[in-house]
Structure 1
Amino acid sequence: MGLLVSALIVAPALAQKVSKENVSAINTARIRAESINGGLSNYRAAKCMYATGKGGGDCLKNASDGFLFVFDGGAPGWQEAGEPPTVETEILISDDGASVLEVVYNGDPR
């Protein structure tokens, strides 16, 4: 019992806090990708671009000079249906998470 209580007390300390800039950057990148790929009626970004609590998870490739995201996308429901992505987007967002610095790539999955 004592070990379980100790684990529960220590576990929250191990959780990584995601900055408000990182959350803003995820949203900014996802919204731009939605816009350039035909809007929400035609396109959905990969699930990692909705993982704000994880800072973008596997989609966040670099956060040293802005936020660089690389992620797949496709028609609504593509990921849930197990279908392959039809689009790959690589996008660089400003340090404050508020603006797109560059759409590095948006096209067929590489």
Structure 2
Amino acid sequence: MSNSLVEVDSRPLKQPGQDVPFLAQVNTPSQRQGQADVASALRIVRLLSVITGLLFTMGPTPPVRAEPSMPMAQPHAANLARMRAESLNGGLTSYRAAGCMYETGARACLVSSTSESFTFRFRGGAPGWEQQKPPKPSLETTVVVSKDGTRILAVPYNGPIR
């Protein structure tokens, strides 16, 4: 690293028999880049120190519960069951299945899962029934779908709420 000296005023740097006037150091572009790199590194170290301190003061994180895995065919089976109920009850212009049937895999509406089938039981009614206070479903449907999620095996019940 070399320093370049520059005169601050307009007088020559040194005349015979005179003291050297006040001189200022000027950084070259490579020196300025090096200083910027050091400053950036210091900011990063400070930031990491703050983050580490925050993590230690927050304490351990609570354990996370993993949900049981869902068979790959379950979301397709749920969609198939919901669509069957929609077609049986007049289509989407006059019927909406419960919200649980619109969630991936319809876990809340799944009443049985065997080696042969999925069985879904859910309520439904006119569009907007779930937004009413209190919700007023008018129909209940039970649909059994094949384990691979490709075929409706049975519709044991589709009628008034029991």
TM-score range, shorter chain: 0.7 to 0.9
State the match for 2:108 in structure 1.
Answer: 58
Q: Deviations over 1:31-79 (max 9, x none)?
A: 0000010000100000111111xx3122100001300011100001101
Q: Report SS of the residue matched to 1:79.
A: helix
Counterparts of 1:15 and 1:105, CA distance in 2: 30
**C-alpha RMSD over aligned residues:** 1.4
Matched residue count: 103
Structure 2 runs not aligned, ≥5 long? 1-57
Q: Report SS of the residue matched to 2:90.
A: coil
Would you say 1:70 and 2:127 are equivalent positions? no
- Amino acid of the residue matched to residue 69 of structure 1? F
Counterparts of 2:149 and 2:131, CA distance in 1: 28
> Percent identity among equivalent residues?
45
Moved more, 76-85 or 24-33: 76-85
Give 1:98 deviation, angstroms.
1.0
Q: Structure with the greater relative contact order (CA < 8 A, sep ≥ 6): 1 or 2?
A: 1
Structure 1 runs not aligned, ≥5 long? none
Would you say 1:29 and 2:81 are equivalent positions? yes
TM-score scaled to structure 2, two decimals?
Answer: 0.59
Give 1:14 deviation, angstroms.
1.3
Give 1:18 deviation, angstroms.
2.0
